[in-house]
Amino acid sequence: MKAYLTRRYHFSASHRLHTEAYDAAKNRALFGKCNNPHGHGHNYTVQVTLSGQVDPVTGMVCDLADLDAFARTNLHDRFDHTNLNTLDCFADKVSTTENLSIEIYRIFQNFAAAHLEQVHIEETPNNSFDYAGDRTPAAGTL
C-alpha cells in the first residue's frame, strides 16, 4: 500500500537576484528591489512530499527521525542563515526560489528511505514554488 508523507521545514536565508549576463540597468529593471546590492532575506518554508509502501510493522512510509536528521544536515545546516549567492550551487545561476526548489529537490533525491515526489517552497505569503522533477506537481499544489 503506497502512501504519501509531506514534512515541513523552515530556514532563513538572504540572496540577491542578479545575473552577469545583464548590465546593472537591466538587472535593476528585471529584478527591481530584489537586485539590491546588499541583498534581502526570506523566511522560507519547505514542504517535501515523499511516497512509499507503508511498513506493515511500523505503519509508516519512513522513520520521521531519519527524515528530520537528513533535513537538518542537508537542508537546515546548509541553507539556514546563509547568503544563497555564496553557495556553490548558485555559482553559475541566479538564486531564485525556482532554482532553490530544484536544488532542494536534488538534495532530497538522496534520501533513500522513501521516494521523493515533489518540493514546495513558500518564499513569501504571496510567492510559492513547486518542483517535481520531470513529473507534474500533485494536484492542488499549484
Q: Is 109 helix (H, G, I), strand (E, B) or coil?
A: coil
Q: pLDDT tens digit string along 44-83?
A: 999 999 999 999 999 999 999 999 999 999 999 999 999 9
Q: Is 81 a catalytic residue?
A: yes
Domain 2-131 has CATH 3.10.20.30: no
CB hemisphere CA count around 91 (13 angstroms): 3
The rounded distance, in Å, linking the Cα atoms of 18 and 35 is 6
Please pick, among 15, 20, 34, 76, the residue that the annotation labels catalytic. 34
| Residue 122 designated active-site | no
Q: Among 76, 89, 98, 123, which one carries the catalytic annotation?
A: 123
Model pLDDT for residues 65-74, shown as the tens digit of each residue: 999 999 999 9
Q: How far apart are CA 117 and CA 125, in angstroms?
A: 23
The reported pTM is 0.92
Catalytic residue among 20, 62, 81, 89: 81
Distinct helix (H) and strand (E) counts, the chain: 4, 5
